């Protein structure tokens, strides 16, 4: 793995909203490894680099809105000729309880509009870190839910979950997918 894309919406208005769980993960990684994001207008993204397990790793936060994530992800991957299997996309997941995360290889978009915009350009064969935000219980409440702030209890649960994911990133980098999956999936 060479690149971790954290999906979210840019701007202060969305900073603390559930839809930014992917940003929260890459921000936590950058903080843990003391690296800073820099704006790369060419790729409509903020990018930080670090070396982990002897490998250069890019952390990328697309600065398009969630539904247009492909406008950042696809050009960067094409320019650097990065195959889909060398990336991890971290994003919010409605169908997983808040405070839980799941790793997954490949698949469809599952109704997530950020993935829906990425898949046509790079295919479905990338790795995913699905960060649970819970479901509001009714389909009509999904948009305000993902664009809303989590409760204090959910914020704490999600932060702990992200800390666990950050701790397992080294296992992901060295290719120990099964160990990372076991540790992340264990509550």
Q: Which residues are catalytic?
A: 19
Q: How far apart are CA 5 and CA 26, in angstroms?
A: 8
Which DSSP letter does residue 150 get? P
The residues, any chain, with a CB within 8 Å of residue 160's CB and separated by 6 or more, are 99
Cβ neighbours, 10 Å, residue 139: 10
Is 35:49 a contact under the CB 8 Å cutoff?
yes
For 15, counting Cβ atoms within 10 Å of its Cβ (0-12 exposed, 13-18 middle, 19+ buried), the class is middle
* Among candidate residues 90, 101, 103, 181, the one with its CA nearest the CA of residue 133: 101
Radius of gyration of the chain (CA): 15
């Amino acid at each position: 793995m060479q690149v971790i894309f954290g999906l979210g919406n840019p701007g202060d208005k969305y900073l603390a909203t559930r839809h930014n769980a992917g940003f929260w993960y890459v921000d936590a990684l950058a903080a843990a490894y003391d690296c800073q994001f820099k704006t790369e207008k060419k790729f409509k993204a903020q990018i930080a680099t670090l070396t982990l397990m002897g490998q250069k790793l890019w952390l990328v936060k697309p600065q398009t809105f969630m539904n247009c994530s492909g406008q950042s992800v696809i050009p960067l991957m094409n320019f650097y000729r990065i195959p889909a299997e060398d990336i991890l996309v971290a994003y919010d997941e409605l169908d997983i309880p808040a405070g839980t995360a799941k790793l997954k290889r490949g698949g469809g978009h599952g109704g997530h509009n950020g993935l829906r915009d990425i898949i046509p350009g790079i295919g479905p064969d990338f790795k995913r870190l699905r960060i649970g935000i819970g479901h509001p219980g009714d389909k009509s409440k999904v948009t305000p839910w993902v664009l809303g702030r989590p409760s204090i209890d959910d914020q704490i649960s999600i932060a702990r979950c992200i800390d666990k994911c950050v701790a397992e990133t080294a296992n992901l980098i060295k290719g120990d997918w099964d160990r990372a999956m076991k540790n992340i999936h264990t509550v």
